[in-house]
Amino acid sequence: MDKLAWETALHAEGYRYVCGVDEVGRGPLAGPVVCAAVIMPPDDILEGVDDSKKLTAKRRERLASLIRQKAVAWAICRIEPQVIDEINILQATRLCMKNAVESLSVRPDYVLTDGNMTLDTDIPQKSIVKGDARCYCIGAASIIAKVERDALMAEYAAVYPGYGFEKNAGYGTAAHIQAIKDNGLTPIHRRSFTKKWQ
């Protein structure tokens, strides 16, 4: 599979800055949704960029550092649980992705998003199902977003001990659900997700 096929085709059409966008954290019971937007240089390709879920934590962290160094521009944004509860996770993810794109220091000419997300932007865009595994710049975005969110959830583990955030990143593991039943909700839990643990 040529993970550079989309970028190569778009560059050939005259789009100079092609941006990949991905999210991490749509499914967890706690913590924010985190999105990253990345414009990678077309002539300095990093080996090993893939869907962040397929990589070890150590590999992700090393690649995330290299991506941030080599990127033409990158940005990370997050939407907190209170907003997720207010506008729902789908709309929160769309807003987060849009904010990440708009936070780039270089305005992209074209945006490639993971999944089936359509962003509220006048920049030309295309969504790619499983784009984090199939498209280089989306894979790069998935890596820096996951490293950012995992680090944040590890910080929350120290603030709210007993929920295992450093291990489960807020996802609904059996131990996490039991901790909610035993200890109640923290301020970073998503109240709109209650059906997942009741």
Chain segment 132-164, per-residue pLDDT in tens: 999 999 999 999 999 999 999 999 999 999 999
pLDDT for 1 equals 66
Positions of E strands within the chain: 18-24, 33-39, 73-79, 110-114, 125-128
The DSSP-derived string for 132-172 is: HHH-HHHHHHHHHHHHHHHHHHHHHHHHSTTS-HHHHTT--
Q: What is the pTM for the complete model shown?
A: 0.95
What fold, for 5-192? Nucleotidyltransferase; domain 5 (3.30.420)
User: In which residue ranges of the chain is pLDDT below 70?
Assistant: 1
What residue segments make up the domains of the chain, in order of their start? 5-192
pLDDT for 44 equals 85
